Amino acid sequence: MQMNLKEPNKAFIKEYGVFLKDYLFPVLGIANTGSLYEDVYPTWVEDTIIQSYGKISFGIKWWHLLEVECQQWISEDNIRLAKEILDCFFKTSKYKRTGSAKNQTGFSEAQYCEIYRMAVQRGICKWLIGGRDYPCAEELFSKLEKWSVKTYEGKKVTFGFVINPDVLSNAEEKVDLGNWLDFMEEDHAALLTDCIHSVIELDGNCDFYRYLSISSEDCIPQTSLSEKVPLRFTQVILKYVTGKRIGIFLLNNGDIVLAKHESVCFVRRNLRWLNLSYEAFRNSLEGFAKKSPDISDQLYKSIFASVLDVSFSHAGGIIAVVGGGKWEQSVGDKKILNPCDNLLNGADNETLRQAYLKDESGCVQEELERHSKEIRKRLHKRTMMKKLTGGKVFQKLDRKLRGELIAMDGACILNHAGEVYSFGAIIQNDSGSTGGGRGAAAKKLSTYGMAVKISTDGYIELYVDGEERYAIK
């Protein structure tokens, strides 16, 4: 086979690296990689991506160009997605892949940022539909983007669609007045679907096929929950995003969510597509899981499910899993976990109260009274938390209750078995810590295991040993 050994364009290699780190890696859910470095040499390989344990290599046909250390294992489905995105990037890149020439586009740097974003979006569209160009899906995204910054009657708008590529409407039934995508320009469209109870099924050309609602036939059927779907979208996704159907939802905060195979896979937040799959989350924990083999898969799944729920409710929270000798030595330190917040502490409330007041015995009367009120509030909360949880492990708690308790000010702290140390634990951060109070608390707790921070804007960050391993931000 004849190889093209024309030297790769050095400016293109640099542009390629920027696209990988800023645009592709977030879609794949890759965080905290090592340095992306050039390693240029000819190969017999045509694939643009080669994955091996501990690293991922990127190139163009017949050339190896870039390599990054990565402990995460990317699924074959996401590798296919990455190849579709890179193919779109190659067609729109600023520099030619070989030689030294620049593509004569005349676009500015700011315009290229938008071009890169659209390359990602087009690659996602092609991946969703099995590798072929799908311009009507891109047009649907364009309509949703316009609605994401508009209001109707003073309120933000939601849309829920399920695209069924196996259905094509009868061309003879079409009229000259336009199709569904044209109808979306009208204000009337803003009143239809809410993503939670209702969606509109579109055919393979993104035209109207039928209206779907979980309240059809005057009843709402029971649905088993899935850790791969936010609680509020469970019924509509598990009922209608099946087979080859693709779910596309515009939320009232401007997020666009993609669902496939009965699970959420991506979210578009602040113009960026981000990976929202359980597989990416779990893969980023592989090293931690090997060091903590006593943590069950069910606990990981339950944590991820609650992370999704809190993210989409925009309540914010922290979930940490801690254990080991370092934690056991520190658990008595009030800066880490106050004994009055520790639900696994067997001491009764009066014993805890007396111990707390003894520690504060050197305070003046006014401060002592303030501390007495504080201890009463803490013990009251502890009592209510015990009643609410009933001694159940995290993975056995009602899922809606978990989300509500995680959203309390403070951290949800679990041990390796899923037993709950605390909901709403206040962690005193180290001096000089950065990233806001919630981020600093998550990093500190992760030094005892792992911790997930969910911000009120829905962003997600996973920390292990104080370092970020996964992010949706």
Tens of pLDDT along 62-71?
A: 899 999 988 7
Torsion of CA 394, 396, 398, 403, to 10 degrees: 20
The pLDDT score that the predictor gives to residue 72 is 76
Q: Is the pLDDT of residue 469 over 70?
A: yes
CB atoms within 10 A of CB 339: 18
Q: Is the pLDDT of residue 104 over 90?
A: no
The pLDDT score that the predictor gives to residue 1 is 45
The pLDDT score that the predictor gives to residue 246 is 92
Q: pLDDT band at residue 43, thresholds of 50, 70 and 90?
A: confident
Mean pLDDT of the region 47-55: 85
* 11 to 8, 57, 68, 91, 274: CA distances (angstroms): 9, 18, 19, 16, 27
Mean pLDDT of the region 390-411: 94
Q: Is the dihedral of CA 302, 308, 314, 318 positive or negative?
A: positive
Contact 152, 191 (CB under 8 A): yes
Calpha distance 267→458 (Å, rounded)? 11
Q: Which residue has the higher pLDDT, 144 or 45?
A: 144
Calpha distance 55→70 (Å, rounded)? 5
**Distinct helix (H) and strand (E) counts, the chain:** 15, 19
Tokens of 84: 């579709």
Look up the pTM and report it. 0.85
Q: Is the pLDDT of residue 256 over 50?
A: yes
Calpha distance 86→19 (Å, rounded)? 9
% of the chain beyond a pLDDT of 70: 88
Mean pLDDT of the region 61-88: 88
Q: Is the pLDDT of residue 333 over 80?
A: no
Q: Is the pLDDT of residue 250 over 90?
A: yes
Looking at every residue in the chain, the average pLDDT score rounds to 86
Contact 457, 467 (CB under 8 A): no
Q: Is the pLDDT of residue 20 over 90?
A: yes
The pLDDT score that the predictor gives to residue 302 is 96
Residue 55 sits at φ, ψ, to 5 deg, of: -160, 160
Mean pLDDT of the region 301-325: 92
3-state SS assignment for residue 351 = helix
Q: Any idea what DSSP says for residue 432?
A: T
Q: pLDDT band at residue 161, thresholds of 50, 70 and 90?
A: very high
The pLDDT score that the predictor gives to residue 287 is 84
- Locus of tokens 């030689």: 99
DSSP string, 388-419: HHTT--GGGS-HHHHHHHHTSSSEEEE-TT--
Q: pLDDT band at residue 175, thresholds of 50, 70 and 90?
A: low
The pLDDT score that the predictor gives to residue 354 is 74
Encode pLDDT of 340-394 as tens digits: 888 888 877 777 777 666 655 555 455 556 667 878 888 888 899 999 999 999 9
Mean pLDDT of the region 159-165: 93
Scored b (16 or more CB within 10 A) or e, 165-196 reads bebebeeeeeeeeebbbeebeeeebbebbbbb
Q: Is the pLDDT of residue 123 over 80?
A: yes
The pLDDT score that the predictor gives to residue 192 is 92
Q: Is the pLDDT of residue 49 over 80?
A: yes
Residue 215 contacts by C-beta under 8 Å, 6 or more apart in sequence?
A: 197, 198
% of the chain beyond a pLDDT of 90: 45
Calpha distance 372→392 (Å, rounded)? 30
- Locus of tokens 């009066």: 350
Out of 132-136, 280-284, 337-341, pick the least confident. Answer: 132-136
Mean pLDDT of the region 133-154: 88
The pLDDT score that the predictor gives to residue 89 is 95
Angle at 13 between CA 116 and CA 7, to 5 degrees: 135
